Amino acid sequence: MKVNSVLLIWACILLQECPLTLSEEDNSEPGDNVNPCCYYPCQHWGVCVRFGLDRYECDCTRTGYYGENCTIPEFWSGVFEFLRPSPNSVHYILTHFRWLWDLINKTFLRDFLMRMVLTVRSNLIPSPPTYNSKYDYINWESYSNITYYTRLLPPVPLDCPTPMGTKGKIQLPDPKLLVEKFMLRRKFRPDPQGTNLMFAFFAQHFTHQFFKTHNRVGLGFTKALGHGVDAGHVYGDNLDRQLDLRLHRDGKLKYQIIKGEMYPPTVTETNVNMSYPKSVPPEGQMAIGQEVFGLLPGLSMYATLWLREHNRVCDILKKEHPTWGDEQLFQTTRLIIIGETIRIVIEEYVQHLSGYYLKLKFDPTLLFRSQFQYQNRIAVEFNQLYHWHPLMPDSFFIDGDEIPYSQFIYNTSLLTHYGIEKLVQAFSTQAAGQVGGGHNMHQVVTRVAEGVIKESRELRLRPFNEYRKRFNLKPYTSFSEFTGEKKIARELEELYGDIDALEFYPALLLEKTRPGNIFGESMVEMGAPFSLKGLLGNPICSPEYWKPSTFGGQIGFDIVNSATLEKLVCLNTKWCPYVAFYLPPSDSHQQGKTIESRSEL
């Protein structure tokens, strides 16, 4: 070991400031000039800057900490750390004591707590963006080039002794082995929160407007230039595609009528490219804003619902504004669709995921007195995190029929054969799988998981524990603490060698779940900040946009402010099925009441 390394160790011991130890397990050979930033010495969001061959400095500016490694808290940081409850304690409080939350939800405290949730979560995401897949330091290209995904943490330096820095083995486990050994489903495990396939398909449909990796250009690039909720999955991710999908009359989108019902038009009617196998003729391919949405009938179902909703709103606006032309009707309707989407996501989708008794609220005015930037960039970590393929079941049950994947994938005829109502009913009453905890991914999607692991390695994502620290979570100290059991912990340790070498994406799927929850702690605590920052950072939530005139007057504003999943379905179908992101109550009487109430729409 070099003399300066020995001195560094003694300095760390005396100052009690060095969180990482240079040991024989660090896989650095005697005489090597190891990049000191490979040890991730800078804590609490401090930035490591290398000087010379073996020196570094931590930039602790505005972290609330100081010292060589940003570990000594300033006064108020120390007070805050002392008083701050753990994420699991907060989660417990928010998911228990229903009687208390029923009272809070009726008072001003609901708005106060909702404002806190939004600001605290959103502040964890840097704005403007910092790094991307090309640069591990802040520069203008990282900020201005929106063809890149951004990233929360810079990549593992190229000159580190191991793929994860200094910890773990020289070679990472084979991705296929990881997926088959820890993720592949043994037996379908339904989500204990009661999540259904209506939620699963909404998650996939909703996120593919901003998760559009541009593989032809390279990893880390995106085609979705909107970097947020822009309804590009409905209207296309570029102007040419949008114009091909538009009817160019009354602001509406093109459509076809089948059995008296409105559906997306065919490729031959629009001249847009869709990703279908060659076995599906052009006249059988539905033309949708997102080119891959012909893959699953659940995605085509949502595409049909939003098509019908767009054209329905156009009719309302045209009646209200007879002097408006096609362009203004289209553009204003698009803003309304974006607003409806955000409201449904926050008040129903995120509400269900959280399991909170605090009633979440979409109200942009809550942030008008806060320092908040109305912009967003999609991070590669958010993209990786959102691969929730364990949601998918073993097969699909529609109107009494069991349909295997072989008859489900790329089969748009299911959409027109059963109709939207029966698909909604079927997907709302079939359980989705639990995402966390491992061993619950169907064989048909395991290749996707392998691809995510390979992508994360090419992009050199930092170890899972580094992301835990970035989101103010305590890093795990052992695999058994991470998994909550012994067998998988022992197998993971054999493959990775050190808990500090565990990879980001596998860890999110294998982490022990919270009791009765769909995810583990990290998925929620890391995913929520990305999600809320992206939703509330949308321009329509800004003071300049959030007013009736933006949405065509009070009538359009009311559509946004009253949007629900139930209305999206029931205002665009002949009859109203059971629709929610969770399974219906087991009590048939309660289920009947739920369905009966839809007549009030």
- What beta strand segments (E) does 365-462 contain? 396-398, 401-403
**Alpha helix stretches (DSSP H) within 217-371:** 232-235, 239-245, 267-270, 297-320, 326-344, 351-354
The residue from 208, 227, 310, 389 that is catalytic is: 208
From first CA to last CA, the distance across the chain in angstroms is 74
Instruction: Name the nearest CA neighbour of 341 among 193, 234, 195.
Output: 234
Residues 569, 571, 573, 579: is their CA dihedral positive or negative? positive
The residue from 56, 135, 148, 386 that is catalytic is: 386
Q: Provide φ and ψ at 165, rounded to 5°.
A: 125, -100
List Cα–Cα distances, 572 to 27, 49, 517, 525, 593, in angstroms.
61, 56, 32, 35, 21
Residue 236 CA to residue 242 CA, distance in Å, equals 5
Do you find a cis peptide bond into 265, omega within 30 degrees of 0? no
Verify whether residue 589 is a known catalytic residue: no
Q: DSSP label at 287? A: P
Verify whether residue 418 is a known catalytic residue: no
Angle between helix 326-344 and helix 554-561 axes, rounded to 10 deg: 30
Which residue has tokens 């109305």?
A: 374
Region of residue 431 (left: phi > 0; alpha: psi -120 to 50; beta: else): beta
Positions marked active-site:
208, 386
